[in-house]
Amino acid sequence: MGSVTDVAMEKGTLAQRKPTVVFVLGGPGSGKGTQCDKIVQHFGFTHISTGDLLRDEIRSGSENGTMIQRMMKEGKMVPPELTIKLLQKAMQECGNDKLLIDGFPRNEENRAAYEAVIKIEPKLVLFLDCSEEEMERRLLNRNQGREDDNIETIRKRFKVFKESTLPVIEYYNSKGKVRKIDAGKPSDEVFEDIKFFFTSTCGNIKHSCCVIL
């Protein structure tokens, strides 16, 4: 696995492009993937799922993939250097210069690594706020066959979100970048709120790249 420094040496083209970045954060089951799909359809985004990239790494049978699989089963965070490497590769390979990054940064380590390596401050942070009861119901009902969709792992993920991701949201809120959305409502109603915040803050964005973690 390459170091953050190694990744930084590869970032030239991304830095030159200076893409617009929007983060989407929320707990497991808050609807980040669903809402990103709606943004893709409504605003013409390109959609790249870094969550899928992690699962692809698992399926590759690599040493990193085995480590990722173990950590996901335990509800733990993937090491920031690996996450940044996969994320940056997806951002570089996307031909679009407006990026919607979903579920990242998940903790302060991710945020610090992102700022140190990629150095592109988000224009906006959408926070999908949803109760644990509703998120748990959604995760147990979605039947995607994912190993991390069992009750024990789900509750571990909730704990990690509260302890690790909420401080990131608070950090960006202190910079005036967070827009909090009630994600417990029906998805179409949630999207109406997202459209309002998205267009009022990023009204000039018409074609973008969505990166989901």
- Whether 61 has a binding-site annotation, put simply, is no
Q: Is 18 annotated as a binding residue?
A: no
105 annotated binding-site participant? yes
CB burial of 60-82 (b: ≥16 within 10 Å; e: otherwise) equals eeeebbebbbebbeebebbbbbb
Q: Is 28 annotated as a binding residue?
A: no
85 labeled binding residue: no
Q: Tell me whether residue 55 is annotated as binding.
A: yes
- Going from the C-alpha of 59 to that of each of 32, 55, 69, 212, the distances in angstroms are 23, 6, 9, 18
- Does the annotation flag 80 for ligand binding? no
Burial group, residue 194, by CB count within 10 angstroms (0-12, 13-18, 19+): buried
DSSP character for 3?
A: -
Does residue 142 have a known ligand-binding role?
Answer: yes
111 is in an annotated binding site: no
Q: Is 26 annotated as a binding residue?
A: no
Is residue 137 part of an annotated ligand binding site?
no
Q: Is 59 labelled a binding residue?
A: no
| Residue 143: other Cβ atoms inside 10 A | 8
Residue 30 marked ligand-binding: yes
Binding-site residues from annotation for ATP? 29-34, 142, 185
Binding-site residues from annotation for a ribonucleoside 5'-phosphate? 55, 103-106, 146, 157
Binding-site residues from annotation? 29-34, 55, 103-106, 110, 142, 146, 157, 185
